[in-house]
Amino acid sequence: MRRPPVFATLLVLLAVATMIGFGMWQLRRLAWKQDILARYAAAEAMPAPLPIAGATMPANAAYRHVVWDCPAPGPDQVVGGSNAAGRSGWVHAVTCRHQADGVTTVVPVVIGWSLGIVPVQWAGGAIVGVAVPGPKSGVVLPAAGPTSHNLDWHIIADPPLAGLAANARPDPATIPNNHLSYAVQWFLFAATALIIYALALRRR
């Protein structure tokens, strides 16, 4: 009986070990994502709004109602979106600016929804809304520089402002969580590689 080729065997075993490692990493990512989604769901259920001062957003604000101030809103940017009933139309968003220590911080705020594409006027002021991690799709932010910073959040006003209708409320349940399926795929790749190599050795 001929011996298996050393180099090819080591190469296959290294590839299999790498695939298994990717699968284990996806399982760790699964636990991490489940923990985040659980915290988001708990924050969403909190009845009292969280007051936010200045130009920062704490991590525990995600998917929670917050009270914020928009002292200097930019012009209304109209992008496609849905209302609270799921009807397609137009989302109205402004960029709010805060200044502190010579640095301008910008965060998008969705002030409401309408069937019309015509921009509305909103003078700024106090906001109660849901804080969402990440940028608002379609909203153009100013270029960041030494004295400006775009906050990686956006707020959806609830109740809406400027006479607009309510925008669709963000739902953490819509955040993709495919890590288990990815882990299974990597484990199947590893098993397939072993089976194919075993068949190749048998034929040899």
pLDDT number for residue 173: 83
- DSSP string covering 41-58, please? HHHHT--SPEE--TT---
Consecutive 10-residue runs of the chain (204 residues): their mean pLDDT?
Answer: 79 94 96 91 83 77 89 90 91 87 84 93 91 88 77 90 91 88 96 92 79
pLDDT number for residue 50: 85
- 121-156: burial string, b at 16+ Cβ within 10 Å, e else: ebebeebebbbbbeebeebebeeeeeeeebbebbbb
Q: Which residues is 69 bridged to in the sheet?
A: 126
Instruction: Specify the pTM.
Output: 0.78
What number of other Cβ atoms are within 10 A of residue 191's Cβ? 13
Taking the domains of the chain in order of start, what are their residue ranges?
6-37+178-203, 49-173
pLDDT number for residue 10: 92
Find the helix or strand (DSSP H, E) in which 159 lies: none
- 20-50: burial string, b at 16+ Cβ within 10 Å, e else: bebbeebbebbeebeeeeeebeebbeeeebb
pLDDT number for residue 25: 97
Q: Which residues is 120 bridged to in the sheet?
A: none
